[in-house]
Amino acid sequence: MRRGLSYSTSPLLAHKTQLWRSRFVMILVALGFAGLAGRAAYVQLIGNDFFLRQGEVRFARTLELPANRGRILDRNGLILASSIPAASIWANPEEVDQNDAEIRAKLPELARLVGMSLPQLQQKLDSDKSFVWVKRLLDWEVGQQIKALGIKGIYQNREYRREYPEGEAAAHVVGFTNVEDKGQEGMELAFESELAGRPGSRRVIKNRLGQVIEGVGEEIPPMDGRDIQLSIDSKIQFFTYQKLKEQVLAHKAAGGTAVVMDARTGELLALANYPSFDPSNRRNLTGEQLRNRALTDVFEPGSTIKPITVAMALEAGVVKPGTVIDTTPGRLTITGSTISDTKNYGALTVEGVIQKSSNVGTAKIAQQLSAQQMWETFSAVGFGQKPQLAFPGVASGRLRPYKSWRPIEQATMSYGYGLSASLLQMARSYTVFSNDGRVIPASIVKLDKPPVGVPIFSIKTADAVRKMLALATGPGGTGQRAQTEGYSVGGKSGTARKQVGKHYAVGKYRAWFTGMAPIEEPRVIVAVMIDEPSNGVYYGGAVAAPVFSAVVQQSLRLMGVPPDLAVQPQIVANPVEESL
């Protein structure tokens, strides 16, 4: 800037600005303000849906109102599974001031109530999140004690926890739910949609700390799940489990399973497995405990299948109950393979073949049948077919097409080798003898009326086989220890070598017994399997039959079936004969 020059005399300032330019600037400013005002009006009054949604995303929440899960009941209305209120404790660590002396003094008691150490609790409260679970599904009373502590930032939700009054006795039947109350096993899983119901909802506004300020909109109430009534009788279930457990432990076995079925309706009255587990406390749970052996495990049934083979021959007219079968010398060779009995029984009637459990006699009877006849009958009574049972994991077993059978395989299948079945399938197959030759489906849900069976054998054949089953449990039979006080019984024992891979393991067996009572008008069918008994005794007549005896007697009494025997049966104390 040069000295002596004045701004007032500057030629630039002396130049007059045109009026339209200043007006144009003012118009632009006015239009800008008008645009902002219009936009503000639009956002606030007209096009505010998007912004309302964004506001709701940040402050509005939909709270789920849990539905009360339906109960699982036994056939008499007793509770097998039910839901009770539980307190789930959560915290907002931002609100829990651990430096506050009053709060710090209450934390040890909170840790005790939730079952944690104080350092574990403090670690959770040191989180930088605004929500952490402290402990879920505590007893409701414990939740009230925590609430009474009045610790700022500690909250609780009302949830539901499943209770199982029958414990490990019915664990494999009812199954269990997870922490979210969703079915994971057993009937809890099979009827998840019916038991779960439908949760409700409530729309609320929360502040930045996650606290509910007010409710908005209409509350949708939850729809509770419906109850499921099973065919299981909890008293029979408990007794069966106890007797099975005792026998497994007494014989140092790997496990065992038992099925009790109503002989008239096919309803399952008990389904027990050991080892078992407590569905309310599943810590350190193993696969062995979870296995529902009665439904998922399949194995060669051994001699328990012989009555079905004999029934085929009776129905086809190739033999009669009194037909003599020569089993001498106790061995039979077919295409280079030898079938053996435990001893040389000589000449046996067809009834004697069942009574003595002769492999040779059964194989000779099967030789008079075609492979197609045997396959069709085995299929008709349920072998190789998946049972139509409302239960997860039901196995179908194995029955190969008859066209691939070799002569030796047809012979071994006649006495239970070369095919596989579950214990449930074995029990169901015997309904063909308890229902005048008709096989009926199994059910784990209580039925309103008996099902219509499928005819397989004639009434005459069914009656004849029932008499043979009675002989097998009488003097000279292989199932003498199946006899029970006050009731006539009939059944068939079985002992099958345990297959490991493609070969049979040395010294490993499964002991079976399947039968019914009372024998003239059967009311129950009981099937028992003990896996790998290892205390020196492994025959089905010695290991499985005693469980059958105890369960039959108790079941019939609980069902109110009057005894059909006036005197106590005389159980012969001779060594039990048994065929592999």
| Active site residue ranges | 303
Distance in angstroms (rounded) separating the CA atoms of residues 480 and 269: 24
Q: How is residue 576 annotated by DSSP? A: P
Strands (E), 452-544: 454-455, 490-500, 503-517, 524-531
Instruction: Find all residues with CB under 8 Å of 345, minimum gap 6, and list them.
Output: 327, 330, 352, 356, 358, 360, 361
Of 484, 496, 540, 533, whose CA–CA distance to 514 is shortest?
A: 540
Report whether 513 contacts 540 (CB < 8 A). yes
Distance in angstroms (rounded) separating the CA atoms of residues 235 and 72: 15
The amino acid that residue 499 corresponds to is: Q
Report whether 548 contacts 520 (CB < 8 A). no
Helix ranges restricted to H, 346-483: 350-356, 359-366, 371-380, 407-413, 423-429, 431-434, 459-472
Residue 139, token pair as written in the block: 């007893």
What H or E segment, with its residue span, contains residue 329?
none
Distance in angstroms (rounded) separating the CA atoms of residues 110 and 489: 60
Pairing of strands 324-326, 347-349: antiparallel
Radius of gyration, CA atoms only, the chain = 38
What H or E segment, with its residue span, contains residue 272?
strand 268-274
Look at the chain and count its residues: 580
Cis-peptide, bond into residue 329, ω within 30° of zero: yes
Report whether 498 contacts 509 (CB < 8 A). yes
Question: Could you identify the residue written with the tokens 């197609």?
Answer: 372
